């Protein structure tokens, strides 16, 4: 007969096995439950927009008054005086033609805004006020009533209010310190909508949504997700950017229908490999799909060193000459020989960055290096220079 010790050992092993199986079950449930999250599904409203629902740009011209001596210099901006004269004439004030106005507290400005879709008369929108002349600052000014027109020349909003400038400036004895831009300000809820722009969602029970970026794979995935929710044939991809949707013909049901569509989760496809190079700032940005094939790169630096030292020339004794100080410059051009470095193939963004950093080049030099690697066919990405 087995001993009691052996029996207890078997029970202990069985309990440990059950505990291990329980832990494995928990891990499997956790992994299976987390797999949809790892797919990085996004809402459809973040990937596409309903065709026809868009903002409309507005523009207007006006005057900002109440400035603390930082307005336009009227001798150089005659349109400011003309605008002020016309405004005073509409208010019943007539000025003699020979009046020479020297204004310091008035500035001519351009007013811009975006009229949102479905905006109705009486709603308030934000406006941006930008100096048109040579005003030093719009801080503390008030925008007078300025009509804002659309591309068709029709007035859609009226702007007026106090200008808020997010900056500061100080000057004394010819010295000046300025923080941020002082010639551009913003008025929150500074314009009232006077006319609505009609927005047509669809015709004959058909709506169209447009992807933010052209991608045939995403167009097919969006259509599949919509059909899985509302039934086959609801969505049909027209091209790589547009999807046609069969919607309810009753306008009262279209809002609820679009609300459900916007909240559908779609797993987008992987973006194309792209490298963005800003030649003005020297910044380089690449996405995680960029791959670098094995290649050899030789990099060398050309440096120019200029040393300027003052030379004092003393006149001879009793020559009635004057001491003169001249600048003597020495220019050296140094060419550092670049060694041939081998960059291994990288399948991840970290490997690509590590390989490029191994060259020891500055961001400005990396622009030329990336162009050469792209020309050699070792850079598996679209190189876009902005």
Q: What is the pLDDT of residues 179-209, one digit of tens each?
A: 677 899 999 999 999 999 888 776 767 889 9
Same domain, 64 and 154: yes
Which helix (DSSP H) or strand (DSSP E) does residue 181 occupy? none
Domain-ending residue, one of 168, 193, 218: 193
What is the percent of the chain where pLDDT is above 90?
32
CA distance 199 to 51: 10
Contacts of 386 (CB under 8 A, 6+ apart): 276, 277, 278, 279
Same domain, 88 and 61: yes
In a domain, 317, yes or no: no
Same domain for 144 and 97: yes
Q: Indicate the pTM of the whole model.
A: 0.67
Instruction: Report yes or no: 26 and 173 within 8 Å, Cβ to Cβ.
Output: no
Rounded-to-integer distance, Cα 152 and Cα 57, Å: 11
Q: Evaluate whether 157 touches 111 at the Cβ level (below 8 Å).
A: no
Tell me how crowded residue 24 is: count the other CB atoms within 10 A of its CB.
10
Domain hosting residue 246, numbered range = 206-266
Q: Span 229-251, mean pLDDT?
A: 90
Are 357 and 280 contained in the same domain? Answer: yes
Please work out, in degrees rounded to the nearest 5, the angle formed at the alpha carbon of residue 72 by the alpha carbons of 151 and 104. Answer: 135
User: Per-residue pLDDT tens for 273-282?
Assistant: 888 888 777 7
Q: 146 and 188: one domain?
A: yes
CA distance 117 to 110: 23
Q: Give the span between the Cα atoms of 161 and 64, in whole angstroms.
A: 9
CB 141 within 8 A of CB 64: yes
Which is nearest to 90 in space by CA: 154, 147, 131? 147
Q: Which of 153, 171, 193 is the last residue of a domain?
A: 193
Same domain, 242 and 296: no
Q: Is the CA virtual torsion 263, 47, 199, 124 positive or negative?
A: positive
Asked if residue 102 and residue 65 are part of one domain, the reply reads yes
């Amino acid at each position: 007969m087995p001993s009691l010790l052996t029996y207890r050992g078997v029970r202990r092993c069985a309990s440990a096995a059950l505990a291990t199986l329980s832990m494995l079950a928990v891990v499997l449930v956790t992994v299976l439950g987390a797999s949809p999250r790892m797919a990085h599904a996004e809402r459809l409203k973040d990937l596409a927009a309903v065709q026809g629902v868009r903002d409309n740009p507005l523009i207007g011209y006006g005057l900002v008054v109440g400035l603390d001596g930082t307005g336009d210099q009227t001798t150089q901006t005659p349109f400011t005086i003309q605008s002020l004269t016309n405004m005073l004439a509409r208010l019943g004030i007539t000025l003699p033609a020979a009046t020479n106005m020297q204004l310091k507290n008035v500035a001519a400005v351009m007013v811009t805004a975006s009229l949102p879709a479905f905006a109705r008369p009486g709603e308030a929108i934000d406006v941006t006020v930008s100096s048109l002349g040579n005003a030093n600052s719009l801080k503390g000014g008030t925008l007078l009533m300025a009509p804002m027109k659309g591309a068709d020349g029709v007035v859609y909003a009226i702007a007026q209010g106090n200008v808020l400038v997010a900056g500061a400036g100080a000057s004394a004895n010819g010295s000046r310190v300025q923080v941020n831009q002082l010639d551009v300000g913003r008025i929150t809820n500074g314009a009232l909508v006077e006319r609505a722009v009609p927005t047509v969602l669809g015709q004959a029970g058909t709506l169209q949504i447009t992807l933010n970026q052209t991608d045939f794979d995403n167009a097919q995935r969006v259509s599949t997700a919509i059909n899985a929710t509302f039934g086959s044939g609801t969505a049909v991809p027209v091209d790589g950017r547009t999807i046609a949707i069969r919607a309810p013909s009753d306008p009262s049901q279209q809002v609820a229908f679009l609300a459900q569509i916007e909240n559908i989760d779609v797993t987008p496809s992987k973006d194309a490999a792209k490298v963005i190079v800003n030649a003005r700032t020297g910044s380089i940005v690449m996405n995680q799909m960029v791959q670098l094939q094995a290649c050899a790169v030789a990099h060398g630096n050309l440096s120019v060193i200029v040393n300027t030292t003052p030379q004092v020339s003393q006149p001879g004794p009793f020559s009635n000459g004057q001491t003169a100080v001249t600048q003597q410059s020495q220019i050296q051009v140094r060419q550092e020989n670049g060694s041939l470095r081998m960059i291994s193939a990288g399948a991840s963004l970290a490997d690509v960055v590590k390989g490029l950093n191994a060259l020891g080049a500055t961001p400005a030099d990396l622009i030329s290096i990336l162009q050469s690697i792209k020309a050699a066919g070792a850079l598996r990405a679209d190189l876009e220079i902005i």
